[in-house]
């Protein structure tokens, strides 16, 4: 691109009303909302196929029966880190969510399935929360480029069908946005993207919506913003591009430290990390076969906290300044033969047409690969963990077995129904690392999804949606990221479409 005048490219290759960057849930919903309000919309998506991390999700959508109660609950889960008016908009949107998705489902053969949610944490207002997902459908095989899928893929199919049904939305895959174009008088008037090695300038007569997710696959940002090192990812597409583009035009950032994650597995021969299996939000009758120990063979956490796929990594982040080390990165899972037989320990979810992995039902293929190490006695297991002497590991396991036998209080508060003793040889050991499902940090937005600058003024004609600057700044609301994509996508899409052309 050459010959900029007043910040404008000499020529626009494409002209549209609203440009949406990214085609996950947030981008798809933004596009549908803007299109339904009469705008012509162009989505630019970096990857060869749509779906982002959205397509990998469990697919639960948190909704609210009562706006005030949902607001109260969100206030507690955000602990003062997000302004009330932003949380109020989310709470209100949650009350409208089921009707909105019901309308989308009309375009498809799918149906909704109720999921009674309540709050994950015992905060006031939790009783006003509810939830649903898209029910499984016989014969539906999902997407060729995404594997290990659950409800998120069905929900994404609903959205994709709706995008494709709207003639005023066009989608450009393999077209990463590179930078925003700002006019000194009008604000953000378009962007420069790349396709097949060529730059293309796309004019947005009304506005641009950044819905391009977080920075799960940007090592430099993760080193800067997270305490834990390393933190492995499940999806390669999100490299914080929305953050960089927004920073270039003066946006302020929030919640950069916060990520939705857990502990999980990473092996050199596989490019992506795996989540560990779990049977949904914690219940007292879902057995988790393992305990986790640090490099010294000591337990240090509740392995099944209330939202294990949200805060499961947090205990691993501890840095011991006395010893100048992360003693829990990696940490180690220990379990026994009856635990091995409970089902697959790993849960691969992959958005990459060139990669797939099916974890074996009995975990024996992974033992064979060396991903799960096996020994006849705990002394030998202890020798596989650096800095662990056999007596310490034995004491850790004995204490755990007493907790399991007694049914009393565990010092880390693990619920009785989730416990399983470790006493039946052979024994097994797995390395685990902090895993990010999605980052929450990004550009600050107001209740209308305007991206805010460092003086807390809206940047004209620039909006965000979804995890490119999530409202969740402290504790995640389970099934809340998808909800947020839908609520904020609707707000951003409508507001962008409602602007006069510049």
Per the CB < 8 A criterion, the answer to whether 396 and 299 are in contact is: yes
Least CB distance from residue 323 to ligand FAD, whole Å? 33
Give 476's Cβ-side CA count (13 Å radius).
31
Q: Report the distance separating Cα 153 and Cα 57, nearest Å.
A: 7
Are 191 and 212 in contact by the 8 Å Cβ rule? The answer is no
Q: 368-407: which residues touch ligand FAD (CB under 6 A)?
A: none
Cα 340 from chain centre: 28
Q: What share of residues in the chain are helix, strand, coil (percent, to 5)?
A: 30, 25, 45
58 binds ligand FAD, rule: CB under 6 A: yes
Q: How near is the Cβ of 403 to ligand FAD at its closest, in Å?
A: 30
Which x/- pattern over 167-196 shows residues binding ligand FAD (rule: CB under 6 A)?
Answer: ---------xx-------------------
Which helix (H) or strand (E) element contains residue 365?
helix 364-369
209 binds ligand FAD (CB under 6 A): no
Residue choice 115, 311, 418, 437 for contact with ligand FAD (CB under 6 A): 437
Region 134-173 residues binding ligand FAD, contact defined as CB under 6 A? 152
Q: Minimum Å distance from CB 129 to ligand FAD?
A: 13
CB-closest chain residue to ligand FAD: 24
Q: Pick from 8, 18, 20, 25: which binds ligand FAD (CB under 6 A)?
A: 25
Q: Within 218-257, which residues bind ligand FAD (CB under 6 A)?
A: 234, 237-238, 241
**Helix count (H) and strand count (E) of the chain?**
12, 23
| Binding of ligand FAD by 73 (CB under 6 A) | no
Contact flag: residue 336 with ligand FAD (CB under 6 A): no
Q: Identify the residue among 301, 467, 475, 499 touching ligand FAD (CB under 6 A).
A: 467
β-pairing verdict for 331-336 and 346-347:
unpaired
CB 276 within 8 A of CB 346: yes
C-beta of 317: minimal distance to ligand FAD in Å?
Answer: 19
Closest of 234, 237, 307, 189 to residue 468, by C-alpha: 237
Tell me: does residue 213 bind ligand FAD (CB under 6 A).
Answer: yes
Q: ∠475-480-482 over CA atoms, to 5°?
A: 140
Binding status of residue 488 toward ligand FAD by CB under 6 A = no
For the bound state, the minimum distance from the C-beta of residue 172 to ligand FAD, rounded and expressed in Å, comes to: 9
462 forms part of the interface with ligand FAD (CB under 6 A): no
Distance CA 460, CA 129 (A): 34
Least distance between ligand FAD and beta carbon 182 (Å): 17
When the beta carbons of 393 and 432 are compared against ligand FAD, the nearer one is 432
Binding piece for ligand FAD, criterion CB under 6 A, among 57-65, 78-86, 318-326, 352-360: 57-65
Distance CA 340, CA 427 (A): 9
- Determine the Cα–Cα distance for residues 463 and 41; give it in Å rounded to an integer: 14
DSSP per position, 130-194: EEEEEPP-TT----TTEES--HHHHHHHHHHHHHHT-TTEEEESS--EEEEEEETTTEEEEEEEE
Q: Is 449 in the site for ligand FAD (CB under 6 A)?
A: no
93: which 2 tokens?
């949107």
With respect to ligand FAD, which residue has the nearer C-beta, 281 or 297?
281
**Cβ distance to ligand FAD smaller for residue 246 or 334:** 246
Return the number of the residue (180 or 430) whose C-beta is nearest ligand FAD.
Answer: 180
Measured CA distances, 403 to 287, 336, 392, 396, 398 (Å): 14, 16, 17, 11, 9
Q: Which stretch binds ligand FAD (CB under 6 A): 81-89, 211-219, 289-297, 330-338?
A: 211-219
Out of 16, 78, 117, 349, name the contact with ligand FAD by CB under 6 A: 349
Q: For residue 176, what are the CA distances in angstroms to 34, 93, 187, 312, 442?
A: 21, 29, 21, 32, 18
Q: Does 52 bind ligand FAD (CB under 6 A)?
A: yes
User: Under the rule (CB under 6 A), what is the footprint of ligand FAD?
Assistant: 21-27, 44-47, 52-54, 56-60, 152, 176-177, 211-213, 234, 237-238, 241, 260, 275, 349, 437-438, 466-467, 479-482, 485
């Amino acid at each position: 691109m050459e010959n900029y005048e007043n910040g404008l490219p000499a020529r626009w290759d494409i002209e549209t009303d609203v440009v949406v960057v990214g085609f996950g849930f947030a981008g798809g919903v933004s596009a549908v909302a803007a299109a339904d309000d009469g705008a012509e919309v162009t989505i630019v998506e970096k990857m060869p196929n749509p779906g982002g991390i959205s397509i990998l999700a469990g697919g639960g959508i948190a909704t609210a029966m009562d706006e005030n109660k949902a607001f109260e609950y969100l206030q507690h889960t955000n602990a003062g880190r997000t302004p009330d008016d932003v949380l109020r908009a989310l709470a209100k949107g949650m009350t409208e969510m089921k009707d909105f998705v019901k309308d989308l489902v009309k375009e498809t053969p799918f149906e909704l399935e109720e999921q009674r949610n309540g709050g994950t944490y015992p905060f006031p207002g939790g009783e006003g929360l509810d939830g649903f997902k898209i029910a499984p459908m016989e014969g539906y095989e999902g997407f060729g480029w995404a594997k290990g899928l659950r409800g998120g893929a069905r929900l994404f199919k609903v959205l994709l069908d709706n995008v494709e049904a709207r003639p005023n939305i066009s989608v450009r895959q393999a077209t990463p946005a590179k930078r925003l174009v700002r006019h000194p008088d009008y604000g953000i008037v378009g962007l420069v993207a790349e396709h097949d090695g060529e730059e293309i300038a796309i004019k947005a007569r009304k506005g641009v919506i950044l819905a391009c997710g977080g920075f799960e696959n940007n090592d430099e940002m993760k080193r800067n913003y997270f305490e834990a090192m390393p933190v492995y990812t499940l999806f390669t597409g999100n490299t914080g591009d929305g953050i960089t583009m927004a920073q270039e035009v003066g946006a302020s950032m929030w919640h950069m430290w916060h990520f939705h994650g857990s502990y999980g597995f990473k092996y050199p021969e596989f490019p992506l990390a795996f989540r560990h299996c779990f049977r949904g939000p914690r219940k007292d009758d879902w057995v988790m076969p393992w305990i986790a120990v640090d490099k010294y063979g000591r337990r240090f956490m509740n392995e099944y906290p209330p939202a294990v796929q949200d805060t499961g990594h947090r205990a691993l982040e501890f840095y011991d300044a006395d010893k100048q080390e992360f003693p829990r990165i990696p940490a180690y899972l220990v379990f026994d033969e009856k635990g091995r037989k409970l089902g697959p320990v790993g849960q691969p979810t992959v958005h990459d047409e060139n990669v797939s992995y099916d974890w074996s039902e009995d975990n024996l293929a992974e033992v064979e690969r060396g991903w799960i190490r096996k020994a006849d006695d705990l002394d030998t297991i202890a020798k596989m963990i650096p800095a662990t002497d056999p007596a310490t590991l034995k004491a850790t396991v004995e204490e755990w077995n007493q907790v399991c036998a007694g049914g009393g209080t565990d010092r880390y508060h693990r619920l009785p129904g989730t416990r399983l003793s470790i006493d039946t040889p052979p024994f097994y050991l797995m390395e685990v690392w902090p895993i990010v499902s999605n980052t929450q940090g990004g550009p600050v937005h107001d209740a209308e999804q305007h991206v805010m600058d460092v003086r807390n003024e809206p940047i004209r004609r620039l909006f965000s949606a979804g995890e490119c600057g999530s409202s969740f700044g402290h504790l995640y609301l389970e099934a809340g990221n998808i909800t947020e994509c839908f609520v904020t996508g609707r707000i951003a899409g409508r507001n962008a479409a409602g602007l006069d052309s510049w």
